[in-house]
Amino acid sequence: MILRVGLTGGIASGKSTVRALLGELGCYVVDADRLVADLYQPGRAGHTALVETYGRGILREDQTVDRVKLSNLAFATPEGAKQLNALIHPLVLQSTIELLDEHEQTHPDGIAVVEATLMIESGSSKLYDKLVIVDVTPEVQIERGVARGLPREEVTRRLANQLPREDRLRHADYIIDNSGDVARLESETRSVYAHLVADLAQKSAGSVRP
């Protein structure tokens, strides 16, 4: 029986780096953003739902979804963000569950980590045994988001559509502070991984009790 772990945090908090580190430590990792990208491809359910909702104006000439146009349209208001999430999250959730179930069939004793930005907001965090949150201050998120090439207004807008930091942290089983350098992040990630290994052992022991 695998330990199912949710990994989340706000924009530009360092989730992807932590996911990669946990993968190097031996965890099976899933990037929900990649699942979204797959669902946005022509012929997939997400692509169909988006075109039906927002029209063909969100498509490029090759019929793929222009995610910048979609973002500008869908995230213009909190209500718009909720509408997009309501369309896509159930599809992502279904794909995620299928991946985890398939992995468990061939690797019945391990740690599976799913990274997703709006895990708490969508309610999917309840599906996981443990929830790990990567945490930085909003000021650092804006600074790092801009450093990645995002307009400051875009980073601020996305922050407004995510849970406030304090509310997010209340859901955490483990918190990884990413306000320091890479060495500190690696150390904190290894510490959390050790806790997850212990959690897996406890879960496995409980599953074999008579």
Cα 46 to Cα 37: distance, rounded to the nearest angstrom: 9
> What is the model's pLDDT at position 77?
80
Taking every pair of Cα atoms in the chain, the longest distance, rounded to a whole number of angstroms, is: 60
The three-state secondary structure class of 1 is coil
Place of tokens 């990037």: 31
Which two structure tokens, joined as six digits, stand for 24? 């190097």
Which two structure tokens, joined as six digits, stand for 84? 């997009």
Which two structure tokens, joined as six digits, stand for 188? 């904190």
> What is the model's pLDDT at position 73?
87
Question: The domain at 3-207 falls in which architecture?
Answer: 3-Layer(aba) Sandwich (3.40)
Closest CA to 2 of 197, 176, 133, 193: 197
Which two structure tokens, joined as six digits, stand for 161? 């559509």
Please list the alpha-helical segments (H only) found in the chain. 15-24, 32-39, 45-54, 67-74, 78-106, 119-122, 138-147, 152-160, 165-169, 182-207
Low-confidence ranges of the chain (pLDDT < 50): 209-210
> What is the model's pLDDT at position 188?
97
> What is the model's pLDDT at position 210?
46
Cα 10 to Cα 168: distance, rounded to the nearest angstrom: 9
Model's pTM, two decimal places? 0.89
- Domain ranges, ordered by start, for the chain: 3-207
Query: Is 44 exposed, middle or buried (CB count within 10 Å of its CB: 0-12, 13-18, 19+)?
Result: middle
